[in-house]
Amino acid sequence: MLEIKNLQSRIGDTEILHGLSLSVNVGEVHAIMGPNGSGKSTLAQVVAGHEDHVVTGGEVLFNGSDLLQLAPEERAREGIFLGFQYPVEIPGVNNAYLLKAAVNAKRQHQGLGEIDAFEFLKLAREKMAALGMDPKFLNRGVNEGFSGGEKKRNEILQMAMLEPKLAILDETDSGLDIDALKAVAEGVNALRRPDRAIVLVTHYQRLLDYIEPDHVHVLSGGRIVRSGDKSLALELEEKGYDWVREAASA
Amino acid sequence: MTAENLESLVNRRYEHGFVTDIATESLPPGLNEDVVRAISARKQEPEFMLEWRLQAYRQWLEMKEPEWAHIHYPPIDFDAISYYAAPKSDDDRPKSLDEVDPKLLETYDKLGIPLHERARLAGVAVDAVFDSVSVATTFKEKLYEAGVIFCSFSEAVREHPELVQKYLGSVVPRRDNFYAALNSAVFSDGSFVYIPKGVRCPMELSTYFRINAANTGQFERTLIIADEDSHVSYLEGCTAPMRDENQLHAAVVELVALEGAEIKYSTVQNWYPGDENGVGGIYNFVTKRGDCRGANSKISWTQVETGSAITWKYPSCLLRGENSVGEFYSVAVANNWQQADTGTKMIHIGANTRSTIVSKGISAGHAQNAYRGLVKVMPQAHGARNHTQCDSLLIGKQCGAHTFPYMEIKNPSAKIEHEATTSKISADQLFYCRQRGISEEDAVNMIVNGFCKEVFKELPMEFAVEAQALLNVSLEGAVG
């Protein structure tokens, strides 16, 4: 589904990704781990099309077609979802309004008509109930005054509504207490499906106690230095990131 | 002035060397007493009106153009302007929508302007516009039954001279400012409204207005009088783009609310703003003022200003009656090279008077957008209260937002609050929306509309939708 080959990128004058390769198949859950500054979030942003990042080499294919040619909104409509580490606040814009606009943008791309207002509300309420979210959140400004946990739940709600083919969740666990972490993890687990791939970007192993990955990759210095199954995450937890840094420089 | 003199003035040959039919003639450029007399004679005005105009003209001669606003433009040559232009004849107009600039039609479409209104807005010859006459007649009958007077200003001068004489200039005196004086001397036409005691005007005066009041000219004059315990909601303008060959527009609007009366005045201004290089566009120098003359009266201004190259406009309230209320809700958009200096004045004179100001300024491109507001509390205005909220939104890096709040508080019991914010549409917000599949343009619209929500909810409902669409069209191409 997602094929990244020898990807290189920079932001400003700083090279971040140094020939990263990764292959994600449909139905799989991958975890990308690594120390701060290793390029985890950059990878997520480059795949989503953030324009601050300049791709200087390599390629990214999504279901066989060149993803790098597409604008961020086109990638989103093709089914790529990025759960943000720091979801931005948009004061004055109703949460329901954004959500509905997003759903309709995708439906239009698929040649479907706009979603009926009642149908939309019904669907949104259902998904919110499953995530333990108060329906009042629909009428608040996008992420406006939300707590850290509320923002992350809101990201998962958007994912649930948009039904992406590939979801990249960037540090979805950061800043969450244990209850919020569980709720978010349950939400993600409920969205695991054979026709969907999920990439979890995380600094800590603890998220993986709740969402079990099929593959774990360790990123260091802008490339993947080790890949394995979930036991790699545990090994990492035990030995720390210095171990991979040594492995990378060796 | 004799009819003969008028005739010779009107028939003066153009330098282009032809004399047209008197019915479609404009006066030659320039301003002097003869021109003022000619305008008045043309409109068959009573003597008092001519005198009033002449005095205004003499006062105007002694006045200077204001220079304090945060706007820049080359000096205006007042002798190059023609001060009387009769409406275009049907022969010069498009015969049907097929002859209208397709770009204009596209904009109507984006704005959701009803089909039956498009022809009239595009200036299609009157007899080709269906329905409007019968619709207007129905409205007129309904208003007549309620005792409401709603007519053109010229008609009011002829049919209701006593009302005009009593109230004209009582809110905006002739010599109030340079442009008000100019308008007083040469005003072309406009609207007149009188709501009798205790009457609630049975309809928004918008619908009617939109069907009837095109081409009121560059020096528009409006006078609205709400007698005791009456109520009226008046809508000026239209979301459809208005093109005009006259660059200078100087309108005057006067509102009078007697005891217990309420006037709600909503404006949507979409005059030609010039092209994306700042060439052309209307200079809109307007004086609008409402007088809450009686106790418990209320005047509310709501404006959505998206057009004009330069906007200079401060709809104000004189809160004279005890417990009277003044409100000002404004969205001012400036894109490309537009300049806006707009705001309000709330003058608290009576006891327990209250005012609310909500101003939302949006700047994009190279535009400069200034809020200028005065809150003045006179010594006798015990218990006066004001709340001002003034927010600016910037799109891009070349534009500017400026806030000039003035407060003159002469009574210690006054409570005055002022909140101001400046924000930018951030790249992060746009990326977030785009990552959810929403195009950049739609994302900007969404954020801008969210920013303006508080003001839009004050507009008559059907109009709020159009105003929102108008904002989107005005900011097209503002990003990227």
- 3-class SS letters over B160-208: CHHHHHHHCCCCCCCCCCHHHHHHHHHCCCCEEEEECCCCECCCCHHHH
| Of B429, B439, B442, Cβ closest to residue A90 | B429
Mutate to test the interface with B, among A41, A82, A93 (most CBs of B within 10 A): A93
Answer yes or no: do B437 and A87 touch at CB < 8 A: no
- Worst-scoring range by mean pLDDT, B65-74, B221-230, B291-300, B439-448? B65-74
Question: Above pLDDT 90, what percent of chain B?
Answer: 44
Question: Above pLDDT 70, what percent of chain B?
Answer: 79
Answer yes or no: do A88 and B451 touch at CB < 8 A: no
* A84 neighbors A155 (Cβ within 8 angstroms): yes
- B250, B266, B343: which is closest to B299 by C-alpha? B266
**pLDDT surpasses 90 at B337:** no
- Worst-scoring range by mean pLDDT, B95-109, B287-301, B379-393, B445-459? B95-109
Interface of B with A in 444-463 (CB under 8 A): 446-447, 449-451, 453
| A70: Cβ contacts below 8 Å, ≥ 6 apart | A49, A78
What residues does A90 pair with on adjacent strands? A142
Tell me whether B472 touches chain A (CB under 8 Å): no
Q: Could you identify the residue written with the tokens 């400069």?
A: B368
Q: Could you identify the residue written with the tokens 């036409």?
A: B189
Structure confidence at residue A70 (pLDDT): 96
Please give the average per-residue pLDDT across A110-132, as a whole number. Answer: 91
Residue A88 phi/psi, 5° resolution? -80, 150
Answer yes or no: do B439 and A92 touch at CB < 8 A: no
Please give the average per-residue pLDDT across B273-277, as a whole number. Answer: 79
| B322: Cβ contacts below 8 Å, ≥ 6 apart | B295, B296, B350, B351, B352, B353
Quote the mean pLDDT of chain B. 82
Structure confidence at residue B74 (pLDDT): 83
Cα–Cα–Cα angle for B38, B39, B44, rounded to 5 degrees: 95
**pLDDT surpasses 70 at A250:** no
Please give the average per-residue pLDDT across A168-176, as a whole number. Answer: 90
Answer yes or no: do B436 and A88 touch at CB < 8 A: no
| A163 φψ region: left (φ > 0), alpha (ψ -120 to 50), beta (else) | left
Extended beta strands in B365-437, E state: 368-377, 385-395, 400-409, 415-424
Quote the mean pLDDT of chain A. 92
Cα–Cα–Cα angle for B392, B396, B402, rounded to 5 degrees: 30
Exposure of B141 by Cβ count < 10 A (0-12 exposed, 13-18 middle, 19+ buried)?
Answer: exposed
CA B440 to chain centre: 32
**Contacts with B433 from chain A: Cβ below 8 Å:** 90, 98
**Contacts with B432 from chain A: Cβ below 8 Å:** 84, 87-88, 90
Chain A / chain B CB contacts < 8 angstroms: 75
- B313, B267, B314, B316: which is closest to B291 by C-alpha? B316
Extended beta strands in A12-148, E state: 14-24, 29-33, 53-62, 65-66, 80-83, 90-94, 141-142
Please give the average per-residue pLDDT across B18-32, as a whole number. Answer: 57
| B255: Cβ contacts below 8 Å, ≥ 6 apart | B171, B224, B226, B263, B265, B288, B289, B290, B291, B299
Size of chain A, expressed as the number of residues it contains: 250
Please give the average per-residue pLDDT across A147-152, as a whole number. Answer: 90
**pLDDT surpasses 70 at B127:** no
Helices and strands, counts by H and E, chain A: 9, 12
Structure confidence at residue B1 (pLDDT): 40
**pLDDT surpasses 60 at B472:** yes
- Tally of CB atoms within 10 A around A229: 12
Answer yes or no: do B432 and A50 touch at CB < 8 A: no
More confident residue, A81 or B84: A81
Instruction: Decide: helix, strand or coil at residue A235.
Output: helix
Answer yes or no: do B447 and A90 touch at CB < 8 A: yes
Cα–Cα–Cα angle for B159, B163, B164, rounded to 5 degrees: 80
Tokens of A220: 């260091």
Please give the average per-residue pLDDT across A143-158, as a whole number. Answer: 92
Structure confidence at residue B43 (pLDDT): 85
- Worst-scoring range by mean pLDDT, A130-144, A236-250, B255-269? A236-250
Q: Is the interface score ipTM higher than 0.85?
A: yes
**Contacts with A75 from chain B: Cβ below 8 Å:** 435
d(CA B66, CA B368): 18
For strand A53-62 and strand A2-11, is the pairing parallel, antiparallel, or unpaired? Answer: antiparallel
Top-ranked range on mean pLDDT: pick from B25-39, B94-108, B273-287, B352-366: B352-366
Structure confidence at residue B17 (pLDDT): 27
Tokens of B145: 């039954």
According to DSSP, residue B83 is labeled S
d(CA B103, CA B260): 47
| A164: Cβ contacts below 8 Å, ≥ 6 apart | A79, A80, A81, A196
Please give the average per-residue pLDDT across B262-280, as a whole number. Answer: 84
Structure confidence at residue B214 (pLDDT): 42
Residue B394 phi/psi, 5° resolution? -110, 135
List the strands of the sheet with A166-170, edge to edge. A80-83, A166-170, A197-202, A29-33, A215-220, A223-228
Extended beta strands in chain A, E state: 2-11, 14-24, 29-33, 53-62, 65-66, 80-83, 90-94, 141-142, 166-170, 197-202, 215-220, 223-228
According to DSSP, residue B26 is labeled B
More confident residue, B128 or B438: B438
Please give the average per-residue pLDDT across B145-158, as a whole number. Answer: 89
Nearest CA in chain A to B450: A92
* B292 neighbors B264 (Cβ within 8 angstroms): no
Q: How far is B443 from chain A (nearest CA, A)?
A: 9
Please give the average per-residue pLDDT across B337-358, as a whole number. Answer: 94
| Of B427, B437, B449, Cβ closest to residue A102 | B437
Structure confidence at residue B189 (pLDDT): 81
**pLDDT surpasses 50 at B130:** no
Structure confidence at residue B348 (pLDDT): 98
Domains observed in chain A: 2-249 (3.40.50.300)
Using pLDDT thresholds of 50, 70 and 90, give the confidence band for residue B182: very high
Instruction: Decide: helix, strand or coil at residue A183.
Output: helix
pLDDT in tens, B209-219: 443 344 445 78
- Worst-scoring range by mean pLDDT, A137-151, B43-57, B201-215? B201-215
| Of B432, B434, B446, Cβ closest to residue A97 | B446
pLDDT in tens, A192-237: 999 999 999 998 888 999 999 999 999 999 999 999 999 998 888 8
| B172 φψ region: left (φ > 0), alpha (ψ -120 to 50), beta (else) | beta
* A181 neighbors A210 (Cβ within 8 angstroms): yes
Structure confidence at residue B211 (pLDDT): 39
Extended beta strands in B73-152, E state: 149-152
